[in-house]
Every structure is written in C-alpha cells, then in structure tokens.
Amino acid sequence: MCDTMVALGNAAANGKTLFAKNSDREPNEAQALVYFPRAVHPAGSKVACTYRELPQVRETNAVLLSQPFWIWGAEMGANDKGVVIGNEAVFTKVPYDKGPGLIGMDFLRLALERGDTAETAMQVIIELLEEYGQGGNCGHTHPLFYHNSFLLADSEAAWVLETAGRHWAAEKVREVRTISNIITIGSEWDLASDQLVDFARKKGWCKRGQEFDFGRCYSDLIFSHFADGRSRHKRSCALLEARKGSLTVQDMMAILRDHGENSGETFTPVKGITGATVCMHAGFGPVRVSQTTGSWVSELDTDTTVHWVTGTSTPCTAVFKPVWMEAGLPDIGPGPAGTYDRESLWWRHEILHREVLRDYVSRLAVFKEERDLLESRFLEEVEFYQNMPLTKKTQFSQACFSDGDRIELEWLNKIKDRSLESHMPVYHALAWKGYNRKAGL
C-alpha cells in the first residue's frame, strides 16, 4: 500500500512544486533505482511491458524510475521534461482482468516516456486505458489484483487520475492533494470517462435520485477497509494542510516518515497486527504484509529539478540523496533482486533496517538526529551545485550516495554494540524470521 502527495508552488515556501511518495510492497520485494536515456526507436517496433507488448512510439523521454525489481514499469518516477508520477492501488467493484495486461506501473512508465507535461502524460494513460484496459497480477510472491490511481505533476500543474477498470475521473490540483489506496474523487471532477455515471447506475451502485459519488459508488469496501487508505489519506492531508504556504522538501520527507498522529518518541512498528501508517512497516500477517520499499521527493522547477531518493526501504531508517535528471543516476552498483546481495544498495540498507526493528525505539534514537543533520547538509549543498556543470552535479550526487552508504554502516555497527532494551513480540519475531529466511539472511 502506498501514499502519494503534491504541493503546488502556491503552497510551498519557495514557490516550487513539491511531490512525494512512499511505495509499499512486500518486505523482500527490493526496489531498484534505474535511469534510461532518451531513445529513438525504429518504425514498427514494439515495447515489451511486464506482461504484454505494445506498439512503440518514435521517441521516448529519458526517465528515472524506482521500480520493483521484477516489473518493467515503476511505482514512481520522473522524466527529463520535468514530469513526476506516483501510482496507487485502488480496490473497486469492477471485476479485475486477471489475464496478462497492462498494470498500473506500466502505465506510469509509458506516460513518463511519452508525456511532456503532467496533463499530456495523463492523456497517455487515459488513451492506453481506454484502448487496452488494465489487468494482470501485481503481487510478487502472492497474487494481487487491483485498479489504479495516479498523481501526476510538473512545475506548473498537477492532476489526480483515478480508475476502475476502463472507467476514470480526473481532478486538477489547486493547492495540495494526496492519494492513497482509496478512490478520493467524489461528486466533483474536471474530466471523466463517458460512461462513468451511467455504468454505476446500471449496476445499481448509485440509486435513482442519489447524487453520484465516484468513490462511494465504485469502491470495494472490504479491500479498501483493510488497505487502511482512508486513515492514511486523512493523515497526509492534515499534515500538508497544516504547513500549506510554507511547505519545504524537508516537510515532505518528514511526512513520508510519519507514523501517525499519536506516534511520538515511543512509537514502535512491532505493536499490533493491523493498522497502517504513511511510513509503513510490515509485521505479522495477513493484514500488515507490506512495508515501504522506496521513497521519493521531488522539487520541481522550470529551470532545475532535483529528485531526492532513498533507493532503500523505510524512510525513517534511511537517507534521502539528490539526483538531477540531466546529470543521470550515479553509479550505485548492481540492481537488487528478491534475495540478499551485499553488493546491492537496497539490501545493504535492509540489514540496518531489520536490526533496528529488533529494538526500534532505542536503536532509531542512536542515529535519528544524525540522519536529519546529514540530509540538512545535503540540502544546503545542493543549492551550491544547482548551476554547476553536469559533471560536478554527478560527482556531488555520487558523493551523497557514498556518504549515505558509509554512515549507514556506521549506524549499523553502533546499534549492534548496544544491548537490547526491548524485544519484538513473538508473533512479529516469527514473521520477520520467515521474511529473513526467504531472503537468504
């Protein structure tokens, strides 16, 4: 389960659009950071998505993606035109197509490769959705089928696009907006598919004389309830609204690390077997089987856009590092797979993350302040590099990834030297023992 949010320039401290997303997937479903340059394709060529091929366009934009290692598409990403997109699973009454088709993450990548603005990228998704529909398994080790919502942004505008099968509605963002694992568009929208209202009425989901509400009429209430998207959406909205007009990159990072209204310094993710927070932690199944496996914040400007990525799980235990599209992704080593690989950035961090979970409160306290200070330094130094040559930007980005990797190893050694002040409940310990065994840890 995931959360995606945006603040337009009129809600930000420096007038720049801010975008943020946590991608929540299975605990061992490592997420890769990848960069693909602009490309020109031969006439008549095809593009092989996760499950099916489509006709390729003549030219595709350069894209930076955060993608589950086994999927062609991505959970979140950006292109060299200044567009960013995040997608969410939504659960609807429209039957899922379980055959091989286009999944939400495929739509996201195709839109980034083909769209030059948030609105044109949205139109790419709409056209593909209406022509091909959506379908296919989205789960790594357990089958999972759902429909999708998208938040698309550029430096000037942002859109929310929510779907149910081939039906859809879109809302233009005015100031701040968040989406989660529920349909958030109700009785008002800016654009919609032709049969959106009539289809629901024919199905009896909207009674005669009753005002049509997209979310109320189309949502599958059982799956939407257990996904806990409503509470997370309410929380992220409240956090954005509280800072509206003065929002910063650091605020967006803090929201992605949020564990709820009453979390405080004593919060631990190993309490309980239900519930979900913006910074998501897996636990004992079958409800809490997802964790945040990648996090992303973008500061969008007409001149220079900076993307802040963890490239790792759980942002509360991770460091955001800067990437410029024009400078490309620095060398961060081989991409991860579903089992432990010490050469992989994602899996090296996972050792720290899983050690912190053994005694979350006391172990996070060891490095939380140092984590924030390191990111503050990165944020200050980014301003110096904004107008530097591309080689300098690449070198600085590489240095930030190296510093983050090095300091996480230092944190790991520090917490390992400390005796445990508390212990995981037995059911959480058993769950994580199982995850570790499957990962080869």
Q: Write the pLDDT tens digit of every residue in 3-40.
A: 999 999 999 999 999 999 999 999 999 999 999 999 99
Q: Write the pLDDT tens digit of every residue in 341-384.
A: 999 999 999 999 999 999 999 999 999 999 999 999 999 999 99
Which of 95-99, 272-276, 427-431 is the least confident region? 272-276
Rounded average pLDDT over 409-437: 92
Q: Write the pLDDT tens digit of every residue in 101-133.
A: 999 999 999 999 999 999 999 999 999 999 999
Domain 3-329 top-level CATH class: alpha beta
Instruction: Report how far residue 103's alpha carbon sits from residue 72's, in angstroms, rounded to the nearest whole number.
Output: 10
Return the pLDDT at 225. Answer: 75
- In which band, very low, low, confident or very high, does the pLDDT at 271 lie, cut at 50, 70 and 90? confident
Omega prior to 286 cis, within 30 of 0: yes
Instruction: Report how far residue 359's alpha carbon sits from residue 423's, in angstroms, rounded to the nearest whole number.
Output: 6
Rounded average pLDDT over 288-317: 95
Matching residue, tokens 């914040």: 297
Residue 209 has pLDDT above 70, yes or no: no
Q: What is the mean pLDDT of the chain?
A: 95
Return the pLDDT at 272. Answer: 75
Q: Cα 281–350–266 angle (5° rounding)?
A: 40
Instruction: Report how far residue 213's alpha carbon sits from residue 339's, in angstroms, rounded to the nearest whole number.
Output: 44
Residue 287 has pLDDT above 80, yes or no: no
Residues 6+ apart with CB under 8 A from 178: 3, 4, 5, 6, 151, 184, 233, 236, 237, 240
Return the pLDDT at 128. Answer: 98
Residue 284 has pLDDT above 90, yes or no: no
- In which band, very low, low, confident or very high, does the pLDDT at 333 lie, cut at 50, 70 and 90? very high
Other CB atoms within 10 A of residue 365 CB: 13
Other CB atoms within 10 A of residue 137 CB: 17
Q: Which residues are catalytic?
A: 2
Residue 387 has pLDDT above 70, yes or no: yes
How many angstroms separate the Cα of 330 from the Cα of each of 73, 304, 307, 392, 401?
20, 17, 13, 12, 8
Spell out the domain ranges in the chain.
Answer: 3-329
- In which band, very low, low, confident or very high, does the pLDDT at 48 lie, cut at 50, 70 and 90? very high
